[in-house]
Amino acid sequence: MMIISDLHIGVQRAGGTTPQSQQALRDYLRNSLESLLATENEWVVVNGDLFDKFTVDTSEVLFTCEIFYRWLGERPSAKLTLISGNHDWSPRGHEVSSFHLLSAMLQMSGVGHDVEVRDHINGLSRVDASRGVFCIPHMPNQALFDAEIQNAAATPGKGLYLLLHCNYKNTFADHSDHSLNLSDDQVGALMEAGWSLIIGHEHIGYSLRGGRVLVVGNQFPSSVSDCLGNQTKHAVRLTDTGLELVQTWSRDGFYLEVDWRQIEEGAGADFIRVTGEATSAEAAEVIKAISTLRQTSDAFVITNAVKVAGHDMSGEKAAESIENLRAFDVVGAIMAELNEQEQEVVKGLMA
């Protein structure tokens, strides 16, 4: 069994890209998924955020469906389990996510009997009884997630491995239902119950508590920030003897930091971070140099981390903030907190 997460197929990056490099990045993520699948013949579990957003371009769903369809078709005994992440749920319950659209397409195809879906409807549920693998998908809010964690902690011996899609000890996520948080106390209770945790959602991998808490990280970067925390990236393979990390990506040859004054050295990497310092008078020169690089390089993403007169000139964080604001449904979030009568009043005001 191979466990992967956070592929973010159909990604849209506003910062550090051109229309051509954005498409190349989307192609790269799909092709990387297909190549990774080819290394597993038994069972693939996607532990959340297969797609970048609640809905991505339909072509991305079709391409991804074809990839899984071929993989399953060439391996008659193979299985696919799709677990929903935070990008796969929305308070707009009447809309179908790309995650659920893909799931329905695969289940209606000739390989549908080999595809299982786990979302918030299932809560704590079994993935593989023989290996003691269970999961808790992304839940609609923190309270429901906490209840499922409590349920898991109260069932010692039920399983060995618990798959989650959440932050670990991220206090900024405590009051955000879009991005759930697992506290240290909750981890302690799960440890006492005998669980080992395999966590998706965070893009930088690490492990704690003697390896019993494994934050896998994503398998392939979709931004420069994804490249900064780890030298390598991994999937997890679960065998009869335990967990194995399978390397899927390395910074060597694929990520480069280059000073803006030697920017011609930037060609040849997939993700480039332009660094260095410049005076105020050189600011326009910096922008021109990076813009030229973006137009001539084959890199997927090129970000500006140059400090001009001591100030960070990076547009990546600002661009990601803009993306988050665009993705956040303010009206939907408000409506989710109202009862039916209050919702009707708001709808009348908006009509």
Per-residue pLDDT tens digits for 141-181? 999 999 999 999 998 776 799 999 999 987 664 445 578 99
Q: Which helix (H) or strand (E) holds 79?
A: strand 79-83
Q: Pull the structure tokens for residue 151.
A: 């349920």
Backbone angle region of 275, left / alpha / beta, with phi > 0 → left and psi within -120 to 50 → alpha: beta
End-to-end CA distance of the chain: 51
Crossing angle for the helix pair 98-108 and 58-73, nearest 10 degrees? Answer: 40
**Which listed CATH number (3.40.50.300, 3.40.309.10, 3.40.50.150, 3.60.21.10) goes with 2-250?**
3.60.21.10
Q: pLDDT tens digits, residue range 59-77?
A: 999 999 999 999 999 998 9
d(CA 13, CA 25): 9
Contact (CB, 8 A) for 32 and 219: yes
Taking Cα atoms as reference points, which of 149, 124, 141 lies closest to residue 178? 141
Taking the domains of the chain in order of start, what are their residue ranges?
2-250, 255-327
Higher confidence at residue 12 or residue 322? 12
- Residue 319 clears pLDDT 70, i.e. is over it: no
Q: What is the mean pLDDT of the chain?
A: 87
The lowest-confidence range among 20-24, 42-46, 224-228, 344-348 is 344-348
Work out the pLDDT band at 325, boundaries 50, 70, 90: very low
Contact (CB, 8 A) for 56 and 10: yes
Cross-strand pairs, 213: 197, 208
In terms of DSSP bridges, do strands 242-250 and 277-278 run parallel, antiparallel, or are they unpaired? unpaired
Q: Pull the structure tokens for residue 4.
A: 């992967």
Placement of tokens 């997460």 in the chain: 5
295 Cβ contact partners less than 8 Å away, ≥ 6 residues apart = 18
Q: How far is CA 329 from CA 86, 91, 323, in A?
A: 14, 9, 12
Q: Which helix (H) or strand (E) holds 235?
A: strand 232-239
Q: How far is CA 238 from the centre of its chain?
A: 20
d(CA 120, CA 105): 19
d(CA 293, CA 334): 43
Contact (CB, 8 A) for 223 and 238: no
